[in-house]
C-alpha cells in the first residue's frame, strides 16, 4: 500500500509530478514565495501590532513601579506589600538613586535612574541583557540599550558626576526593561555608595496585579500600596499604562503600512496559488480521460490530481516557511532594536497558520477542477486536444486581425480572450504586483521626505557654533517606541565638567559676513520658554535673520516672517486647543511676548511641545549657531575651515553639515517595503509565468503549425510576449491608480498614529514620469514572466510540436 492508496495510484501521482516539471517547479516556487511573503508580513504584523505588549509580557513587566522612602518603610515591610490582595507578584526592594554621569569625552549625560539589582531576573521585570554581562561588583554599571553608541560601549568608563573626585564606573553591559524601571543598573552596594555623592537612596518595588488594565485599577493598586506602608512612605509610582502609551505611539505608525502589505501579499497568494493549481488540473483532462479508460474510478482520479497539486505545493510551503523565517528574523531584529523587547523570532502560530492556509487553498483549488474532471465522461476527456476548439476568443482573433500590425502581434493580442478566467488571474497578479511597487515607491519617497523635513538644519552647507562642537552633548536616548527623528544638536549644548567658553555671537556673525563665499545665513538657538496655560516648560527654537531655508515643512499657514509670530507643530495645537491665528503668551527668562500662531509645522521629532519664533521677540536671546549657505562653486569644507580658523580662538567652531539620515523606524519601514515589494512582484511574475506556461503548452501544436508554415522563432517569441503585453498594460493601468490611492490612504493614517497631519511634500511624492514608469512596470512584470515560456516555444522542434496533442 503506497502513500496514495494503491501502487498504481502512487505511480500515477509520481509520474504526473515528474512529467510536468516546469509546472511542478512553478507551483512549488509560487507557493514558496507566497508563503514566505505571508510569513514575513504576518510576523511583522504581529510584531508591529503590539511590540510593547510582547516585551512586557515576556519580561513579566511591572504594572506599578513604586519608590518608597527607606527611612519610613523597612525592607521587611516593603516585602510584605507583595502579599497585598490583588498583587500577583512583586520584586524588591531595590536601592535606587538618580545621578548624572559624564563620559570619557566630557559629555554629561541626562539624569539617569540607577537601580541596585544583583541580577536581571526576578519575579517582576525580567530585564533583557542585550549585550555584555550584569554588574557583579562595585565600579560596574549596566546601561539601558538606548544609550549604546560610538562613544558609549562596553568597557567604556563613566564618571559618576562632573565633580573632580567622582568615582568611575565601567560599563559592562546593555539591557532593556520594557517597563522602563531604570536607565541603569549596578550592584546594590554601588547604588548606596553613589547616593552618598548626591541624591538620596529610595527603595524601588515592582508589582504585578491581577487587574491592571485601566487607569482606575492602577490607582486602586496605588492606594492599597500607600495605605499599607503608612503616610509619606510612598514617594511616587509609575504606571505601565503610561509606558505602554508612549511605546505604542511609535509602533502604531508601522501598523497601517504592514497591514497594507500583508493584505496585498495574502490576497495575491490566494489568486496565484488558485490559478496555478486549477490551471494545472485543467490542462490534464486528456490524461485523466486515459486514466478513466484504463479503470481508474472518478474518486481515484480526484485523489490523484489533488495529490499531484499538493506535493509540489507542500514542498513550496515548507521552503516558504524556512525562507520567510530567514527573511523575517533580520527585520524583527531591527524592529527589536527600535522598540526594544520584540521577540526576534517569528511567532510560532504564524509558522503554523500561515502555511496551513495555502495548503487548504491549494487543496480547494485542485479539488474543484479535479471533481469536474472526475465527473467528465471518459470519451469527452480523451477527446480533449483531438477535437477542434470552438467558440471562445475567435471574435478577438477576427478583430485583432484587422489591426495594422504584424500578424504574430495581432495573433498574440487575441490569445488572452481564449481563457478569460486565466487572463483575469494573470491580470490580477500583474495589477497586485504594480500596486505593491507603486505603494512601495510612494512610501519610501514619503519616508525620505519625512526624514529630510525632520532635519531642516542639515540643508545648510555649514554650521558655525558659538561653542566648541565637542562640547555639545549627544542626543538623549529616544523615547521608548521610537520617535521619528532625534532632536537637533543646535544650541542644545549641555555644559561639560568645565564650562566651556562661549564665543561672542556678534564676532561669529562678523566672521561669517566677512567671508566672500557666504550666500546667506541665519542664526538659531534652542531654549526653554514658558507658555501661558501650559504647565512646565516648552522647547523654543528662536531664529535670527532669513530662516526660511531652515524651516520645517508647513502643514498649513506659513513660516515665521518677523516679530510677533510663532509656528508650532500639530501636537502643540491639539494639546493647547489653539488654532492658526490664535495668540499665545510666551515668556523667555524675564521677557514676555504675545505671539500669533501663523503656521502649523510638520515636526514629529518628539513628544515635547515646541514653538518656533523670531529671536527679535526676546532681547536677551542670542544665537548659539549660525546656519550658512555658501555661494555656488564654493567648497563647503574649505569655507568651514576658514571660518573655524577665525571662530575657534573665540570659543566657537565651524563644520560642514551632514544629513542625519533616516532614523531607525524609517529605515526599517523602507527595508520592509523594498523586501515585500520584491517578493510580491516576484510572485506576480511567477503567476504570469505559470499562466503563460499553461497557455503555451496548450497552444504548442498551433505554434508548431505556425512554425511549419514559416513563422520564425523571433516571431514566435513576439507572439507569446504580445499575448501578455496587453495584460501588463491593463494591469499597470489598474495597479498604479490603486497603489496611488493606497498610499494616499495609508500615509495619513500613519501620520495620525504619531499625532501629526502630513504636509504636501510628504503626501504628493509621485512624479508623472514616475507613475508612467510604474505603469510600464506592469508590462515588465508580464513580459518577464512570459520570457521563459516564449523562449521555450521558439526553441521547441517543429516536428515535435506538430505531434503534440
Which residues make up the interface to another protein (CB under 8 A)? Answer: 387-390, 393-394, 397-398, 401, 404, 406-408, 414, 418, 701-702, 704-715, 794, 797-799, 802
User: Please, what is the minimum distance in Å from the beta carbon of residue 387 to another protein?
Assistant: 8
User: Please, what is the minimum distance in Å from the beta carbon of residue 278 to another protein?
Assistant: 22
In terms of C-beta distances under 8 Å and separation of at least 24 residues, what long-range contacts does 70-77 make, across chains too?
A: 70/95, 70/201, 70/202, 70/203, 72/229, 72/230, 72/232, 72/233, 73/203, 73/229, 73/230, 73/233, 73/234, 75/203, 77/229
* Contact (Cβ atoms closer than 8 angstroms) between residue 784 and residue 434: no
User: Residue 169 or residue 794: which is nearer to another protein going by CB?
Assistant: 794
User: Residue 21 or residue 714: which is nearer to another protein going by CB?
Assistant: 714
User: Please, what is the minimum distance in Å from the beta carbon of residue 401 to another protein?
Assistant: 6
User: Please, what is the minimum distance in Å from the beta carbon of residue 804 to another protein?
Assistant: 11
User: Residue 61 or residue 412: which is nearer to another protein going by CB?
Assistant: 412
Strands (E), 439-590: 462-465, 518-531, 538-545, 554-557, 565-569, 583-588
User: Residue 326 or residue 799: which is nearer to another protein going by CB?
Assistant: 799
User: Residue 394 or residue 514: which is nearer to another protein going by CB?
Assistant: 394
Distance of CA 155 to the CA centre of its chain: 32
User: Please, what is the minimum distance in Å from the beta carbon of residue 260 to another protein?
Assistant: 41
User: Residue 49 or residue 705: which is nearer to another protein going by CB?
Assistant: 705
Counted residue by residue, the chain has a size of 805
- Closest by alpha carbon to 735, among 496, 478, 498, 439? 439
User: Residue 384 or residue 625: which is nearer to another protein going by CB?
Assistant: 384
In three state form, how does the secondary structure of 246-301 look? Answer: HHHHHHHCHHHHHHHHHHHHHHHHHHHHHHHHHHHHHCCHHHHHHHHHCCCCHHHH
* CB count in 10 Å sphere of residue 708: 12
User: Please, what is the minimum distance in Å from the beta carbon of residue 408 to another protein?
Assistant: 7
User: Please, what is the minimum distance in Å from the beta carbon of residue 384 to another protein?
Assistant: 13
Question: What contacts 65, CB < 8 A, 6 or more positions away?
Answer: 125, 179, 181, 204, 205, 206, 207, 237, 238, 240
Write down the residue that cell numbers 492508496 correspond to. Answer: 5
* Cα separation, 639 vs 647, whole angstroms: 12
* Cα separation, 207 vs 221, whole angstroms: 9
User: Residue 380 or residue 591: which is nearer to another protein going by CB?
Assistant: 380
3-class SS of residue 462: strand
* Cα separation, 781 vs 774, whole angstroms: 11
* Contact (Cβ atoms closer than 8 angstroms) between residue 13 and residue 308: yes
User: Please, what is the minimum distance in Å from the beta carbon of residue 438 to another protein?
Assistant: 35
User: Residue 390 or residue 535: which is nearer to another protein going by CB?
Assistant: 390
User: Residue 32 or residue 711: which is nearer to another protein going by CB?
Assistant: 711
- Which residues lie across from 583 on neighbouring strands? 596
User: Please, what is the minimum distance in Å from the beta carbon of residue 697 to another protein?
Assistant: 16
- Which residues lie across from 202 on neighbouring strands? 96
* DSSP letters for 761-791: HHH----HHHHHHHHHHHHHHHHHHHHHHHH
* Cα separation, 409 vs 730, whole angstroms: 17
User: Please, what is the minimum distance in Å from the beta carbon of residue 636 to another protein?
Assistant: 59
User: Please, what is the minimum distance in Å from the beta carbon of residue 705 to another protein?
Assistant: 4
User: Residue 179 or residue 715: which is nearer to another protein going by CB?
Assistant: 715
User: Residue 294 or residue 709: which is nearer to another protein going by CB?
Assistant: 709
User: Please, what is the minimum distance in Å from the beta carbon of residue 725 to another protein?
Assistant: 18
Amino acid at each position: 500500500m503506497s502513500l496514495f492508496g494503491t501502487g498504481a495510484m502512487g505511480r500515477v501521482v509520481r509520474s504526473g509530478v515528474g512529467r510536468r516539471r516546469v509546472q511542478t517547479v512553478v507551483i512549488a516556487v509560487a507557493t514558496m514565495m507566497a508563503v514566505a511573503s505571508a510569513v514575513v508580513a504576518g510576523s511583522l504584523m504581529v510584531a508591529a501590532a503590539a511590540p510593547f505588549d510582547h516585551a512586557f509580557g515576556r519580561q513579566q513587566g511591572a504594572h506599578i513601579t513604586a519608590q518608597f522612602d527607606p527611612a519610613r518603610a523597612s525592607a521587611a515591610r516593603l516585602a510584605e506589600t507583595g502579599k497585598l490582595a490583588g498583587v500577583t507578584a512583586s520584586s524588591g526592594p531595590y536601592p535606587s538613586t538618580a545621578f548624572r554621569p559624564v563620559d570619557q569625552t566630557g559629555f554629561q549625560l541626562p539624569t539617569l535612574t540607577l537601580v541596585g539589582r544583583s541580577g536581571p531576573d526576578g519575579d517582576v521585570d525580567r530585564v533583557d541583557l542585550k549585550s555584555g554581562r550584569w554588574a557583579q561588583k562595585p565600579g560596574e554599571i549596566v546601561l539601558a540599550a538606548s544609550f549604546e553608541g560610538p562613544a558609549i560601549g562596553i568597557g567604556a568608563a563613566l564618571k559618576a558626576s562632573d565633580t573632580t573626585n567622582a568615582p568611575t564606573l565601567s560599563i559592562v553591559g546593555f539591557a532593556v526593561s520594557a517597563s522602563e524601571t531604570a536607565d541603569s543598573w549596578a550592584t546594590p552596594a554601588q547604588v548606596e555608595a553613589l547616593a552618598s555623592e548626591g541624591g538620596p537612596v529610595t527603595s524601588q518595588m515592582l508589582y504585578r496585579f491581577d487587574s491592571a488594565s485601566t487607569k482606575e485599577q492602577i490607582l486602586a493598586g496605588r492606594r492599597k500600596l500607600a495605605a499599607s506602608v503608612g503616610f509619606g512612605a510612598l514617594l511616587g509610582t509609575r504606571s505601565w499604562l503610561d509606558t505602554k502609551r508612549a511605546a505604542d505611539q511609535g509602533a502604531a505608525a508601522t501598523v497601517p503600512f504592514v497591514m497594507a502589505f500583508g493584505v496585498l501579499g495574502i490576497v495575491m497568494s490566494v489568486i496565484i496559488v488558485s490559478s496555478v493549481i486549477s490551471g494545472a488540473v485543467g490542462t490534464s483532462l486528456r490524461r485523466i480521460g486515459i486514466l478513466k479508460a484504463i479503470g481508474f474510478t472518478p474518486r481515484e482520479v480526484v485523489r490523484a490530481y489533488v495529490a499531484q497539486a499538493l506535493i509540489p505545493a507542500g514542498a513550496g510551503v515548507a521552503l516558504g516557511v524556512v525562507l520567510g523565517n530567514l527573511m523575517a528574523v533580520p527585520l524583527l531584529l531591527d524592529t527589536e532594536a527600535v522598540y526594544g523587547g520584540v521577540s526576534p523570532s517569528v511567532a510560532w502560530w504564524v509558522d503554523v497558520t500561515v502555511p496551513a492556509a495555502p495548503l487548504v487553498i491549494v487543496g480547494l483549488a485542485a479539488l474543484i477542477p479535479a471533481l469536474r474532471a472526475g465527473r467528465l465522461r471518459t470519451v469527452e476527456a480523451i477527446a480533449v486536444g483531438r477535437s477542434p476548439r470552438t467558440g471562445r476568443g475567435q471574435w478577438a482573433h477576427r478583430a485583432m486581425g484587422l489591426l495594422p500590425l504584424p500578424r504574430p502581434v495581432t495573433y498574440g493580442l487575441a490569445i488572452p480572450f481564449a481563457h478569460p478566467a486565466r487572463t483575469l488571474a494573470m491580470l490580477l497578479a500583474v495589477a497586485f504586483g504594480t500596486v505593491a511597487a507603486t505603494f512601495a515607491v510612494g512610501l519610501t519617497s514619503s519616508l525620505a521626505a519625512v526624514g529630510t523635513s525632520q532635519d531642516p538644519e542639515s540643508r545648510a552647507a555649514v554650521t558655525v557654533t558659538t561653542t566648541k562642537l565637542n562640547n555639545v552633548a549627544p542626543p538623549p536616548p529616544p523615547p521608548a517606541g521610537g520617535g521619528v527623528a532625534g532632536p537637533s544638536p543646535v544650541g542644545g549644548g549641555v555644559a561639560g565638567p568645565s564650562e566651556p567658553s562661549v564665543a561672542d555671537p556678534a564676532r561669529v556673525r562678523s566672521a561669517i559676513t566677512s567671508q566672500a563665499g557666504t550666500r546667506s545665513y541665519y542664526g538659531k538657538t534652542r531654549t526653554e520658554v514658558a507658555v501661558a496655560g501650559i504647565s512646565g516648560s516648552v522647547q523654543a527654537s528662536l531664529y535670527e535673520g532669513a530662516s526660511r531655508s531652515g524651516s520645517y515643512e508647513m502643514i498649513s499657514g506659513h513660516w515665521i516672517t518677523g516679530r510677533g509670530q510663532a509656528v508650532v507643530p500639530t501636537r502643540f495645537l491639539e494639546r493647547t486647543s489653539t488654532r492658526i491665528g490664535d495668540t499665545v503668551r510666551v515668556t523667555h527668562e524675564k521677557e514676555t511676548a504675545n505671539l500669533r500662531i501663523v503656521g502649523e509645522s510638520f515636526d514629529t521629532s518628539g513628544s515635547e511641545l515646541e514653538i518656533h519664533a523670531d529671536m527679535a521677540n526676546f532681547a536677551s536671546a542670542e544665537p548659539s549657531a549660525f546656519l550658512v549657505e555658501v555661494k555656488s562653486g564654493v567648497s563647503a569644507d574649505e569655507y568651514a575651515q576658514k571660518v573655524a580658523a577665525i571662530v575657534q580662538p573665540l570659543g566657537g567652531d565651524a563644520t560642514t553639515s551632514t544629513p542625519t539620515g533616516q532614523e531607525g523606524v524609517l529605515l526599517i519601514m523602507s527595508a520592509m517595503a523594498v523586501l515585500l515589494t520584491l517578493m510580491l512582484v516576484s510572485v506576480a511574475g511567477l503567476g504570469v509565468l505559470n499562466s503563460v506556461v499553461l497557455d503555451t503548452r496548450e497552444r504548442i501544436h498551433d505554434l508548431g503549425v505556425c512554425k511549419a508554415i514559416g513563422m520564425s522563432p523571433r516571431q514566435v517569441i513576439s507572439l507569446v510576449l504580445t499575448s501578455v503585453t496587453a495584460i501588463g498594460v491593463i494591469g499597470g493601468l489598474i495597479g498604479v491608480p490603486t497603489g496611488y490611492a493606497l498610499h494616499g490612504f495609508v500615509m495619513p493614517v500613519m501620520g495620525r498614529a504619531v499625532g501629526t497631519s502630513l504636509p504636501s511634500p510628504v503626501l504628493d511624492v509621485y512624479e508623472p514620469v514616475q507613475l508612467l514608469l510604474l505603469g510600464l512596470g506592469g508590462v515588465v512584470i508580464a513580459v518577464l514572466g512570459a520570457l521563459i515560456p516564449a523562449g521555450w516555444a521558439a526553441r521547441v522542434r517543429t516536428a515535435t510540436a506538430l505531434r503534440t496533442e
